[in-house]
Amino acid sequence: MYPFTYSRATDVADAVRDKAGHGASAYLGGGTNLIDLMKYNVEQPAHLVNVAKLPLDKIEDLPDGGLRLGATATNADTAWNEQVKARYPMLNQAILAGASPQLRNAATNAGNLMQRTRCYYFYDIETPCNKREPGSGCSAIGGYNRIHAILGASEACIATHPSDMCVALAALAPTVRVSGPNGERSIAFEDFHRLPGDQPQYDNILAEGELITSLDLPEKGFAKNFTYLKLRDRHSYAFALVSVAVGLELEGNTITDARLALGGVAHKPWRDKSAEQLLKGQPATAETFGRVAAHVVANAVGQGSNDFKIELARRAIVRALQQATEGRQRATDAFLNSNP
């Protein structure tokens, strides 16, 4: 790890000012991703501004019927929040599917959005990587790429966004509130993360110095017919190979509204709005699900070691839609549902 200086911000304005006053600086949330990357010298900030103790840890009702998740609320406090459990159970399930209890106790909501890819070459500073060192090349293309993208990748980068929480958020479509040197703004969640294109060094559209202050969920939570299905190499404490978040609204057996997002398949949490359109007005049947799943992966491209993900994603989408329709998850797909 390289040396750095450290300060603890007292309020949002102080944090933004402090960061702007230092060149190569970074905000520090729970540290579970940033400190890890600093140990590998992948990230080398000269100054850290600790924002974890800013008064942004509340989870509170919004006047429009939505729910505000504070940026520094921990992933654990968010998942187990009574409002989240009751109104946005898909989010509860997605968060609990990720990492471990210890990590979720430290990790913040903003840090979860900002976490970087788990691409092995990104982590290994001895190998070329366009995301870590723009222009150096991509070692994953033509290399070992079992965990890499099948959708939306570019010739510069085929990395995936590793978050589970963000897949449920993509389906729930909150607004990300940020505060920066040029004031405050709100970003629709679907616009927050970006595809790699020829600038894979940018994971999202946050401008230099901008601090996330909250995630504002809309009222609609798909609390009745939802699922978060995560498929991985071991059943706990492992990143998703493919995950699927589904929220449905049904009238009888007809789908009246639908949300569908995938994790582990792209550089950003992959919400497919055209698939959602295909679901609307259709009967909730295996035939419909099969057609929609085929549509989602129609343009998927394998890179060699990750070819299996295309078929895995197709089947996972069918299973997720089935479970959302039934309003219950198979025991092996549910995370701690028995909790009172």
> Applying CB under 6 A, which residues contact ligand SF4?
117, 119, 121-122, 129-131, 138-140, 157-159, 200
Q: Which long-range contacts (CB under 8 A, 24 or more apart) does 41-46 make?
A: 41/1, 41/2, 41/125, 42/116, 42/122, 42/123, 42/125, 42/132, 44/2, 45/4, 46/2, 46/3, 46/4, 46/5, 46/22
Q: Is 2 in the site for other proteins (CB under 8 A)?
A: yes
The strands making up 183-188's β-sheet, listed across from edge to edge, are 59-61, 67-70, 211-217, 175-180, 183-188
CB of 293 to other proteins, least distance (A): 28
98 contact choice in other proteins, ligand FAD, ligand SF4, none (CB below 5 to 8 Å, kind-dependent): ligand FAD
**What's the token pair of residue 40?**
């590998």
Alpha carbons 189 and 178: distance in angstroms, whole number: 12
Note whether 101 binds other proteins by CB under 8 A. yes
What is the nearest approach in angstroms of ligand SF4 to the Cβ of residue 44?
17
List the single partner that 122 binds among other proteins, ligand FAD, ligand SF4, none, CB under 5 to 8 Å by kind. ligand SF4
Question: C-beta of 32: minimal distance to ligand FAD in Å?
Answer: 3
- 3-class SS at 162? coil
Q: How many Cα atoms sit within 13 Å of 176 on the Cβ side?
A: 24
Contact 323, 330 (CB under 8 A): yes
Q: Does 328 interact with other proteins (rule: CB under 8 A)?
A: no
Residues making contact with ligand FAD (CB under 6 A):
26-34, 36, 51, 71, 75, 98-99, 103, 106-108, 110-112, 114-115, 162-165, 211-212, 239
The neighbouring-strand residues paired with 186 are 177
106 binds other proteins (CB under 8 A): yes
Inter-residue contact 175 to 212 (CB < 8 Å):
no
Q: Which does 239 bind (CB under 5 to 8 A by kind): other proteins, ligand FAD, ligand SF4, none?
A: ligand FAD
Query: Is residue 4 close enough to count as binding other proteins by CB under 8 A?
Result: yes
Measured from the CB of residue 101, what is the shortest distance to other proteins in angstroms? Answer: 5
Footprint of other proteins (CB under 8 A): 1-6, 8, 28, 30-32, 35-36, 38-39, 48, 50, 52, 76, 80, 99-103, 105-106, 236-237, 335-336, 338-340
